[in-house]
Structure 1
Amino acid sequence: MFKFIRSTATVLAVVLGIAGLVLVLYSWRLPPFTGGAQVTENAYVRGYVTIVSPQLSGYVTEVPVSDYETVKAGQLLVQLDKRIFEQKLDQAQATVASQKAALAGSTQQELSARASIHVSEAQLESSKAALIRAQANWNRVEPLVKKGVSTVSDADQARAALDQARAAVSQGQAALEVAHQQLETILVNRGSLQAAVASAEAAVRLADIDLQNTRIVAPRDGRLGEVAVRIGQYVAAGTQLMTIVPRDAWVIANFKETQIHGLTIGQPVTFTVDALQNRTMRGHVERLSPAAGSEFSVLKPDNATGNFTKVAQRISVRISVDPDQDHAADLVPGMSVVVSAGS
């Protein structure tokens, strides 16, 4: 009797050991349970989770949305106090008006300088004509003086008139050169005034951008996460106010490197979603990661030091969700899924 009980216990222990071994082989998909399909539970739904933050600092005056609300692109999410930015815009616009007035004054100065050039040119022509007359008079008087026909006083007057006419011509030429230099100065300063106007107009555009940025709007359609901002709160640039999650969703499946062989772009896959009572859905392999996940970690393993234990690395695979499926709209980022690729 004792031998029979001991024999039964031995057989039961052997059976339990074999069952445990079979269970381990099946769980790890080791031979003879490898099959044609590659399965991983290390897979999750992913999506574009956008953090909404202000570009400006200021007090919150309006929050017209609430937690988990569906919003449209361009819809107002948060309004900051805009009074200071309205005044900055008015100040910038006044500066533009001032710079444009200075530029217009430069245009008037140019017209005046060109008129001065015309006056100087006319005066120079008049001086040249007077010089011609004085030279002709001297040419008549000089021979008469030598012959004693004309008096020395007449000769002195004619000579003085000629010298005076020559001086007037020199003065006219100098005045004309001064007028040209004044015009050149005005034209050179024109570039500075035009640059000042352009700078002032740029300041207006910047002030207008800041004013528009007091309205924080949804960048695209989607659903909001938890709204963390409150009316009256002072927020700084970059403060996380809320998150918005568009409806676009896909699956990231992390396969072991030994499972990657045979996976191809466009290959159909199936996956079950834990949150949807293990409902089976369809998808396709969209892209494979260019490196193992360990290569993207902050602290990379250094296998060249110490004792080495070989560990199978994980390769991420992006899977697109086939459209027009029931409950596809219920997929949200973070859900756990089980992916099966292949037959």
Structure 2
Amino acid sequence: MAEADPSIVETESDTQPAEKRRWGRLLVMLSVPVALLIAGFIYWQGLQGKVSTDNAYVQQDMVAVSAEVGGKIVEVLTKENDQVNAGDLLFRIDPEPYQLQIAQANAAIASAQANVTALANSADLSGADISAAREDIAFAKSKFERQQELMKRGFTTKADYDAAEHAVAQAQEDLRQAQANQVAARAKLAQGSAVPGKNPQIAIADAQKASAELSLRRTEVRAPASGRVAQADRLQVGQQLLPNLPVLTLVEEDSTYVEANFKETDLEDMAVGQEAELTFDAYPGIKLKGHVQSIGAGTGSEFSVLPAQNATGNWVKVTQRVPVRIQIDEKSERPLLAGLSTHVTIFTADGKR
């Protein structure tokens, strides 16, 4: 019996560590799913009251700059990535053709003024021809009356009588022509209601000059807004430009905002004015505040060049994206370039974080 007791003690001591190991494994097996459940609950709880997307990009208003008149570029005063202010001269087009147009317009004005002066002093307008025609009528009538008396007495020929009668008719026709010429001369000097106080011929010449002067001013192409110059590769001295063909783009950096494309299922609690948090792939250390400025009037597919046609019978439901404009409320330490990838989180719980 004495020899058996030690063996019994050794067996019991061996079973205790084994049981502890079994309990340890059981605790580990139970703790892992419990920890996962707790972590999942915490993550789910953290998602409540906010929606986020990484389908978002920095946007900036852009102005395509073009020349309103055609011609050859003779001077360039800006280049790619230059910062310019509104009104700064960007480039100049050859002004000589438009200077010649102004010279032609000045000549047309002088010609119109000379015509007006000539018309004002013409015999047609003065009435001298009318007076002369009336005197001719009186003389022809008196001669015709004498021929009538002589014809009654038989002291004239039929030919002389007819000639005197024809002279009266001719003098009357000359009077009508002189009166018509006077009316036409007055019409040429008349001033229309559209341009009161100015003869139409001179008004036409003045308009041609104003058009030429406008074209000359447009040979100097200036920045319509402040921003950074981009896509200026066609801006070269000697380049022939066509009117209204864009040659560079101005990126208005003061107009920076973020366009975030949220799933349609995220819009239920979203509203204008809610706070937003922005992070940028290019600058991991920068986090900016913003707010929802507007929610798009339609999904992105509705405004695409080729919208989806769902009436073909091959329709597959796809969750649509709606563009949401986020206004940035803080100034960034680094430049926010157009097109930068952005992660946007909107706090939908009472619009606050």
> Shared fold (TM-score greater than 0.5)?
yes
Match of 2:302 in 1: 295
User: Quick one: distance in 1 between partners of 2:229 and 2:339?
Assistant: 15
2:77 matches 1:64? yes
Q: How far apart, in 2, do the equivalents of 1:89 and 1:329 lie?
A: 50
Amino acid across the alignment from 1:210: S
Residue 320 of structure 2 is matched in structure 1 by: 313
**How far is 1:215 from its partner?**
0.9
Asked if the contact 1:138–1:162 (Cα under 8 Å) also holds between the matched residues in 2, the reply is no
C-alpha distance in structure 2 between counterparts of 1:329 and 1:208, whole Å: 45
Unaligned runs of 5+ in 2: 1-17, 191-198
Instruction: Give how far 1:179 is off.
Output: 0.9
Change in Cα spacing, 1:16 to 1:156, as seen in structure 2 (3 Å) is: farther
CA distance change for structure 1 residues 39 and 110 in 2, over 3 Å: closer, same or farther? farther
Partner of 1:118: helix, strand, or coil? helix
Cα contact 2:98–2:212 (8 A) shared by 1:
yes
Cα separation, partners in 2 of 1:68 and 1:232, compared to 1, 3 Å: closer
Deviation at residue 319 of structure 1 after TM alignment: 3.0
In the alignment, the residues of structure 2 paired with residue 239 and residue 17 of structure 1 have an alpha-carbon distance, to the nearest angstrom, of 64
Q: Distance between the aligned counterparts of 2:201 and 2:69, measured in 1?
A: 26
Q: How does 1:1-343 map to 2 (within 5 A)?
A: 11=29, 22=40, 34-109=47-122, 111-112=124-125, 114-125=127-138, 156=155, 169-186=168-185, 197-225=202-230, 227-229=232-234, 231-237=236-242, 238-246=244-252, 247-265=254-272, 267-274=273-280, 275=282, 277-283=285-291, 285-305=292-312, 307-322=314-329, 325-327=330-332, 330-337=335-342, 338-343=344-349
Kept after mapping to 1: 8 A contact 2:125/2:181: no
- Contact kept, 8 Å, 2:274 with 2:346, in 1: the verdict is no
Once residues 50 and 57 of structure 1 are traced to their aligned partners in structure 2, the CA distance between those partners, rounded to angstroms, is: 19
Query: Judging changes above 3 Å, is the alpha-carbon distance between structure 1 residues 76 and 176 closer, same or farther for their aligned structure 2 residues?
Result: same
Deviation at 1:16, TM superposition (A): 12
CA apart distance, 1:86: 1.7
User: In the alignment, residue 276 of structure 2 is paired with which amino acid?
Assistant: T
Question: Residues of 2 paired with 1:278 and 1:76: CA distance?
Answer: 36
Task: Report deviation, 1:52.
Answer: 1.8
The two structures have a TM-score, normalised by structure 2, of 0.70
- Deviation at residue 258 of structure 1 after TM alignment: 0.9
Question: Once the two structures are superposed, what CA deviation does each residue of 1:62-120 show, in whole Å capped at 9, x if it has no partner?
Answer: 22223333222221101122222222332233233334433443333365562211332
CA displacement at 1:294 relative to structure 2: 0.6
Map Cα deviations across residues 38-73 of structure 1 (whole Å, 9 max, x no partner): 222222222211122223443322222233332222
- Are the structure 2 counterparts of residues 257 and 176 from structure 1 closer, same or farther at C-alpha, using a change threshold of 3 Å? same
2:84 and 2:185 mapped to 1: Cα distance? 57
Query: 1 CA distance for matches of 2:95 and 2:164?
Result: 72
Q: Tell me by how many angstroms 1:163 deviates.
A: 8.5
**Contiguous gaps of at least 5 residues in structure 1:** 143-151
Q: TM-score, normalised by structure 1?
A: 0.72
Give secondary structure in 2 for the equivalent of 1:253.
Answer: strand
Q: Which residue of structure 1 lines up, in the alignment, with residue 193 of structure 2?
A: none
Q: In 2, distance between residues paired with 1:297 and 1:329?
A: 32
Query: The residue matched to 1:73 in structure 2 has which SS?
Result: coil
- State the Cα RMSD in Å: 4.3
Q: Report Cα offsets for 1:258-284 as digits up to 9, x if no partner.
A: 11123333x23223141553322223x
SS at match of 1:241: strand
Shift of 1:257: 0.6
Taking a change above 3 Å as real, the CA distance of residues 60 and 164 of structure 1, as seen in their structure-2 partners, is closer
- Of the structure 1 ranges 285-294 and 198-207, higher mean CA displacement relative to structure 2 is found in 198-207
Between the aligned partners of 2:46 and 2:312, the Cα distance in structure 1 is: 35
Instruction: Indicate the percent of aligned positions where both proteins have the same amino acid.
Output: 27
Q: How many residues align?
A: 316
Q: Tell me, what secondary structure is at the counterpart of 1:205?
A: helix
- Relative to structure 1, the CA distance from residue 203 to residue 163 in structure 2 (aligned partners, 3 Å threshold; closer, same or farther) is closer
d(CA) in 1 for partners of 2:138 and 2:29? 134
- 2:324 maps to a residue whose letter is V
